[in-house]
Structure 1
Amino acid sequence: MVYDIKGGAISSLLLPLVNKIETGRIHSIFTRGINIQFDDSHLFLSETQQPLSAFGINISKERLDHVIKSVRVGDLVVKKQHALVLYSECDVIAIHYTGLTGIDLSFPTISCQKETISQTLLYRYLQEKKLEKQIGLKMDDELLEKLDQLSYMPKLDKTSKLAIIDYFLGRGLGLTPSGDDLLMGFTMAVISFHLNQEWLDSLAYKVAENKTTYISTAYFHSLLHDHLSENFVDLVKLLDADNTQEIEVVIDEIQQYGHTSGNDTLYGFWLGLNMVSKS
């Protein structure tokens, strides 16, 4: 039986890739979505009520629930010219590209200048959240030393940049370890203000060593290709926001993500903003 799915949303990062015929496998399954692994790309299938992943396709909750009940880890997935096709024991599920709306998840342009970062509502809101007490890394002397080094990152030579990235990369537990999430947030601030290409080159070099999880690596690749998940696009745009309620809604949504993943990313972003404002 073929179960056809039409309608939903697709990240702009995936649009150039959908016509590439490629086979993959179901990597992992959660109540909120399915990770699909291909040789050269990654895809996260979730529901339309959730923020769209940088490498995501979102479909209705009803249809996603059907897919989750039908597939198992390891099931074959094929990108065809007209659809993403999942092969399970009981169904062939076809998610048709023509019914998907492309969503621009490229890195947003902001008007905020680095000299005024500390005056923004977002910076002050994040500062008041005391995120350092809510992250998944233990605040010991070694971590405090590394966080201090991040605060003057532009002054570090390339060897030191590589060393500090190496310290955080893969540190912690879960599909996206806390150290990875912190690096993601920090790097989002670096990119927001076009600050330090050597940092981005160093991060790309270390990520290529495959020292962290497959899922984290996919997120880093998206970031280094100037794409963010929908809630992080909203976060960066908040640097220009003058409405506290708008900030609260976005931050609260991010904080609900994972055990500490949202807080780890937010803390890294705040660290990055603090560093940029003083550079």
Structure 2
Amino acid sequence: MSIPHKDLFKVEEYNEHIPLSFSERPEGFVHSVFANGLNIQMGEGLFFMGTDKNGQLPFGLHLQTSDVHILVSLIRENDQVYWDHVKQTLEFKQHGITITLSKGRSFMNKLKQQPEKTEIVTQHLDAFLTVLISNDEPTGLGLDVEQFMLDYVGEIHLEQESVRRVYDLMDAAVSDDPRHIESTLRYFLGRGKGLTPSGDDHVVGLLALHTITGALSDAFVEGVKALVYHETITTDVGKEYLRYALKGEFSSAVVQIAEDLTLENPEELEDHILNLLPMGHSSGVDTSFGMLLGMLALRRTMNGR
């Protein structure tokens, strides 16, 4: 099938900070290309340009699906890309391709802390858990959510190391012990397959709960920050999600759920969880599981279990 000839593409929507980031680092290259889009590296920042199949991404520029299909069929890894801040365009000169942001809509999916809603958040634990269990998909690290919860409440006893490690993560999330936090994070960050390893997604989910409730310890958040900013501990894409999560910015799919959790009667909570779960190879399940762990840790610190 021949590829339609086209040299000008329009971004439909983009994270509002992206033009400034490009202006600070106007030259870059294509980091990776896949079916739904491509990642470009501009300085130390990674940016996704593609469909909104997985929602609005915190470092995303989203185009029409038909345009994305054309772009990924032409553009290759390591192709050079240039930003023209006057025209608000990205240029792939070797292909004669220009991508304009000038008529796109900007968005910002940033959560705000609402510690006064902490008790409301924990009240939705059972509803949240019911959706995860009915989904009947294990985490990317092979953990069955229902079996884990049966172990958690003491009805069964699982011998899997992965179960013990999850308890370590829950403990580390509210701990003030830097050594315990670091060793636990070193186990999870970068662990799992895909562009965003499952362990990273668990931590992103925890950070989403922390952003709205302040549930996690300062030491845990600082521990994540130290490893993400100063070490090559995970994939480039995983690192980017974590960097934004530390600033309270997440995909629109995660933001919708987190905001639902602060409401007394969130009518769309189940639908929003079901929207997140199938995303990525296992990222939706893994991020949701991280949010669940945050809710469990929060409830445990509030009432002892």
Same fold (TM over 0.5): yes
Aligned residue in 2 for 1:163: 183
Aligned residue in 2 for 1:143: 162
Pick which of 177-186 and 48-57 moved more: 48-57
Cα displacement string for residues 33-81 of structure 1 (whole angstroms, at most 9, x for unaligned residues): 1111122211101125651110001112222222122211111111221
Of 82, 87, 107, which residue of structure 1 is paired with 2:92? 87
Aligned residue in 2 for 1:38: 42
Write the mapping of 1:24-173 to structure 2, written as runs, cut at 5 A: 24-48=28-52, 50-81=54-85, 82-87=87-92, 89=94, 91-110=95-114, 113-120=117-124, 123-128=125-130, 129-130=132-133, 134-139=138-143, 141-153=160-172, 154-173=174-193
Aligned residue in 2 for 1:181: 201
Aligned residue in 2 for 1:16: 20
Going from structure 1 to structure 2, the CA distance change for 1:5 and 1:274 (only over 3 Å counts) comes to: same
Going from structure 1 to structure 2, the CA distance change for 1:273 and 1:16 (only over 3 Å counts) comes to: farther
Q: Are 2:38 and 2:48, in contact at CA under 8 Å, matched by a contact in 1?
A: yes
Of 266, 270, 277, which residue of structure 1 is paired with 2:288? 266
Alpha-carbon separation, structure 2, partners of 1:264 and 1:172: 10
Aligned residue in 2 for 1:213: 235
Aligned residue in 2 for 1:200: 221
Going from structure 1 to structure 2, the CA distance change for 1:84 and 1:221 (only over 3 Å counts) comes to: farther
The unaligned stretches of length 5 or more in structure 1 are: none
Alpha-carbon separation, structure 2, partners of 1:255 and 1:71: 30
Q: Are 2:113 and 2:213, in contact at CA under 8 Å, matched by a contact in 1?
A: no
Going from structure 1 to structure 2, the CA distance change for 1:146 and 1:7 (only over 3 Å counts) comes to: closer
Q: How many residues align?
A: 275
The unaligned stretches of length 5 or more in structure 2 are: 144-158
TM-score by length of 2: 0.82
Going from structure 1 to structure 2, the CA distance change for 1:21 and 1:168 (only over 3 Å counts) comes to: closer
Q: CA deviation at 1:126?
A: 2.3
Q: Secondary structure at the match of 1:170?
A: coil
Write the mapping of 1:251-262 to structure 2, written as runs, cut at 5 A: 251-262=273-284
Greater Cα radius of gyration, structure 1 or 2: 2
Q: Are 1:52 and 1:230, in contact at CA under 8 Å, matched by a contact in 2?
A: yes
Alpha-carbon separation, structure 2, partners of 1:160 and 1:84: 46
User: In the alignment, residue 194 of structure 1 is paired with which amino acid?
Assistant: G
Alpha-carbon separation, structure 2, partners of 1:177 and 1:12: 26
TM-score by length of 1: 0.89
Q: Secondary structure at the match of 1:28?
A: strand
* Segments of 4+ moved more than 6 angstroms: none
Q: Are 1:12 and 1:106, in contact at CA under 8 Å, matched by a contact in 2?
A: no
Q: Are 2:27 and 2:42, in contact at CA under 8 Å, matched by a contact in 1?
A: yes
